[in-house]
Amino acid sequence: MPDLATVKAALRAQHIETPSWAFGNSGTRFKVFAQEGVPRTAYEKAEDAATVHRFTGVAPSMAVHIPWDAVADYADLAAYADSLGIAIGAVNPNVFQDDDYRLGSLCNPEPAVRRKALDHMLECVDIMDATGSRDLSVWLADGLNYPGQDSIAARQDRLEAGLRTVYDRLGPTQRMLVEYKLFEPAFYATDLPDWGTSYAHCVDLGPKAQVLVDTGHHAPGTNIEFIVAFLLRRSKLGGFHFNSRFYADDDLMVGAADPYQLFRIMAEIVFAGTLGENSRVAFMLDQCHNIEPKIPALIRSVMNVQEATAKALLIDTEALGRAQRDGDVLSANAILADAFATDVRPLLAELREEMGLDPDPMAAYERSGHAAKIRAHRVGGTAAGWGA
Ligand code: PSV
Ligand code: MN
């Protein structure tokens, strides 16, 4: 059986990144529901991310999305985040919310629009330099709604050229994470629809380009842990955007829909030995809290990732290896199922106490009165979000 001290050390070293946009108002294309106490600026989003970290102890960075989090001085934002005990994580360029991007960004048939998208991405690398961020997180909304609308092959050529220019601008320790998505907003064809397409571009680009797996971006029934295992084997798994989905890209709290899937994904991470201090895999959340309060939803999400990780770390890998070598299908499956069935909450409570935290982050946040404080303080101004 795995040694408990080793399990705890791995859990303590795990780093789960929160997304700035999850603290702002969000909704669906039908309605954005405004909440009270929502941040007005990137600085206030950093305060919320720091609050999630204060209660969980394992969320010491916040991803930013530009221009949603545009500020006059990015080094100052990073210094403010640092003063709160967190860092600026992945920088996400936004090349999908401008009228110019109606027909795409890097794949757009119009050279001037491609240039505009490229310039924005290069500006995002400048922001990485200013904030000390390691990862440029690239997601394109590019694609086609109708057969014949544009040349699928020519769009791949434009994509390749655009990504290459951005890649060549990266510093020696910076990375480009290339995200894919099966559909939405384009419905007929997406220019980066699946992990294979992202992977092929990343292989062409070089070692600083790696695939980003958003758990909500696959066809129903896709075996995501297979993708994870494959990419890890090739050192091409850059990170995750964790969330839950029932139907499409639902962006619900990770672990809410299918905790067993999350466990199976984390099991592949454990099998590959890619947890711990030097993990090159970025564990990021990409969620929207449309009807639930945002800070506790993110605390819960971080806890859900921790629980899945703890269960994966408890897999008896030696016994599993034996059962696999013996072709003992039932025992092998039972070893995995046993680990998943373990109640790891007492272990995590103990770990939190050792880390000087409250053993129950959700209850501690409720008791803290923080929600009332931000509701009273954040009055006036424009709440961050999608037009709420
Ligand atoms: C797109 O659905 C996505 O997953 C990308 O990561 C975006 O950057 C993010 O959601 C926020 O809209
Ligand atoms: Mn995503």
5-17 per-position pLDDT tens digit: 999 999 999 999 9
Average pLDDT on 121-139 reads 98
> Average pLDDT over the chain, rounded to whole?
97
Mutate which of 68, 97, 105, 139 for ligand 1? The one with the most ligand atoms within 8 Å of its CB, which is 139
Burial state string for 296-321 with b = 16 or more CB within 10 A and e = fewer than 16: bbbbbbbbbbbbbbbbbbbbebebbe
Distance from C-alpha of 316 to C-alpha of 1, rounded to nearest angstrom: 5
Average pLDDT on 204-223 reads 98
Could you tell me which residues come within 8 angstroms of residue 270 by beta carbon, excluding any fewer than 6 positions away?
Answer: 309, 312, 313, 315, 317
Spell out the CATH class of 15-307: alpha beta
Distance from C-alpha of 5 to C-alpha of 339, rounded to nearest angstrom: 17
Q: Which residue has the tokens 């373990």?
A: 342
Q: Does ligand 1 have an atom closer than 6 angstroms to the CB of 139?
A: yes
pLDDT at residue number 387: 54
Q: How far lies 79's CA from each of 88, 131, 155, 247, in Å?
A: 9, 8, 40, 40
Q: Does ligand 1 have an atom closer than 6 angstroms to the CB of 180?
A: no
pLDDT at residue number 2: 87
363-385 per-position pLDDT tens digit: 999 999 999 999 999 999 999 99
Q: Does ligand 1 have an atom closer than 6 angstroms to the CB of 92?
A: yes
Is residue 277's pLDDT more than 80? no
pLDDT at residue number 388: 44
pLDDT at residue number 313: 98
Is residue 279's pLDDT more than 90? no
Taking CA atoms only, the protein residue closest to ligand 1 atom 1 is 139
pTM of the predicted structure, to 2 decimals:
0.98
Distance from C-alpha of 80 to C-alpha of 130, rounded to nearest angstrom: 13
% of the chain beyond a pLDDT of 70: 99
Q: Which atom of ligand 1 is nearest to the CA of 179?
A: 6
284-304 per-position pLDDT tens digit: 999 999 999 999 999 999 999
pLDDT at residue number 276: 76
Taking CA atoms only, the protein residue closest to ligand 1 atom 3 is 139
Give the rounded distance of the alpha carbon of 308 from its chain centre: 16
Amino acid found at 298: L
Ligand 1 centroid – CA 329 distance (Å): 39
CB 89 within 8 A of CB 141: no
Distance from C-alpha of 382 to C-alpha of 68, rounded to nearest angstrom: 12
Distance from C-alpha of 38 to C-alpha of 236, rounded to nearest angstrom: 36
Mutate which of 286, 287, 288 for ligand 1? The one with the most ligand atoms within 8 Å of its CB, which is 286
Is residue 98's pLDDT more than 50? yes
